[in-house]
Amino acid sequence: MIAAIILSCISLFVGAIDIKPSDLLDWDSDKTQIFLISRVPRLMAIILAGAGMSIAGLIMQSVSRNKFVSPTTAGTLDAAKLGIIISMLFFTNVTYFQQIIFSFAFALVGTLIFMQLLDRIKFKDVIFVPLIGIMYGNILSAISTFLGYEAEILQNVQAFFMGSFTLIVSGRYELLYVAVPAIILAYIYANKFTVAGMGEDFAKNLGLSYKMVLNLGLVLVAIISTTVVLTVGIIPFLGLIVPNIVSLYMGDNLRKTIPHTIMLGMVFLLACDILSRLVVYPYEIPVNLTVAVFGSAIFLVMLFRGKAYAKK
């Protein structure tokens, strides 16, 4: 919590143009304008995306009962991306709203298909399941690339989905606020997700309608993923590692872990973003690169150390 506040302050005052807190006293100055139009939205976007992706991962791990399933490793993000590309290609005058709907529908259906796959396969090894998810995601991604290539918008597409907060200014990120009610809903239904995570038999024994909770979870994941992909782009690993770290020290009772997952997600993404801005200062590298570097390293540690832990 404290770390989140400190990093938020740092984030507000790091950038190509040097802004000091004292500059803000002058309300009409350029620096104040930059602060309000660029820095504050950027901070909000990071906080919302970090919290959102972490919660999306937590929900997916709970309902799929697999520690290594997340929007990145279940094709959710790739499906959302495919939805956006298709909407761009087939409707020439596509509005923002249509993009959202398409992306959401694809993310939802894409994740549902993965869950169906998961239901059918007999060999439910903890490592095997996310591998299937990654392959499945790559297939979706390949379709996106092919469509983009055919329509000669490949470069646009790649730039569009590069997870980055560089282009976040006020007016371009407000969609992310849709993730807020989704996160609140996740907290309200936390107990249901925990029970569902114990498995269908347990859930039924306790009188919980398992299918309903599963579907609710997937809808929430699709909402969060869509808003993040559309505004920020694809941020890998976040939904995978943050919930797992929290689970290690707090267990899996979602009512307890959700606040911590939100905090850690924010802190992790804030730290990565600040680092991205400082490494080649005054330029910056895309945040998804930084997240991927740290995320994949942590993920590898989790794999080696944690196969026993995830299996239990």
Partner 1 sequence: MIEIKGITKYFGKNPVVEDVTVTIQPKMITSFIGPNGAGKSTLLSMVSRLLDSDTGEVLLDKGNVKKMKSDAFAKRVAILRQSNHLNVRLTVRELVSFGRYPYSKGRLNSEDEKFVDQALEYMNLTDIQDKYLDELSGGQKQRAFISMVIAQDTEYILLDEPLNNLDMKHSVQIMKILRKLVDELGKTVVIVLHDINFASVYSDRIVALKDGRVVKDGLTNEIINTDALREIYDMDIPVQEQDGCRICVFFNSHS
What residue ranges bind partner 1 (CB under 8 A)? 62, 65-67, 126, 190-192, 194-195, 197-199, 201-202, 204-209, 247, 251-253, 255, 309-312
Q: Of the candidates 66, 13, 70, 64, which has an alpha carbon nearest to the alpha carbon of residue 261?
A: 70
Neighbours of 187 (CB within 10 A): 15
Q: Categorise residue 255: left if φ over 0, alpha if ψ from -120 to 50, beta otherwise.
A: alpha
Nearer to partner 1, 162 or 208 (CB): 208
Closest CB 213 distance from partner 1, rounded Å:
12
Instruction: In whole angstroms, give the CA distance from residue 156 to residue 148.
Output: 9
Q: Residue 282: is the preceding peptide bond cis (ω within 30°)?
A: yes
Closest CB 197 distance from partner 1, rounded Å:
5
Nearer to partner 1, 174 or 200 (CB): 200
Closest CB 309 distance from partner 1, rounded Å:
8
Instruction: In whole angstroms, give the CA distance from residue 141 to residue 81.
Output: 8
Nearer to partner 1, 102 or 210 (CB): 210
Nearer to partner 1, 23 or 252 (CB): 252
Closest CB 132 distance from partner 1, rounded Å:
17
Q: Among all chains, which residue has been given the structure tokens 């080649």? A: 280
Q: Of the candidates 301, 300, 303, 276, which has an alpha carbon nearest to the alpha carbon of residue 287?
A: 276
Alpha helices in the chain (DSSP H): 2-12, 30-34, 40-64, 76-90, 96-120, 128-150, 154-161, 179-188, 190-197, 200-205, 210-231, 238-250, 254-279, 287-311
Nearer to partner 1, 172 or 255 (CB): 255
Closest CB 201 distance from partner 1, rounded Å:
5
Instruction: In whole angstroms, give the CA distance from residue 142 to residue 206.
Output: 42
Closest CB 18 distance from partner 1, rounded Å:
46
**Contact by Cβ (8 Å): 76, 279:** no
Nearer to partner 1, 107 or 126 (CB): 126
Neighbours of 306 (CB within 10 A): 17
Phi, psi of 126 (to 5 degrees): -60, -30
Closest CB 251 distance from partner 1, rounded Å:
4
Nearer to partner 1, 153 or 208 (CB): 208
- Measured at the CA of 283, the angle between CA 280 and CA 288, to 5 degrees, comes to 80
Six token digits for residue 12: 């507000």
Tell me if residue 134 falls in helix, strand or coil: helix
Nearer to partner 1, 172 or 204 (CB): 204
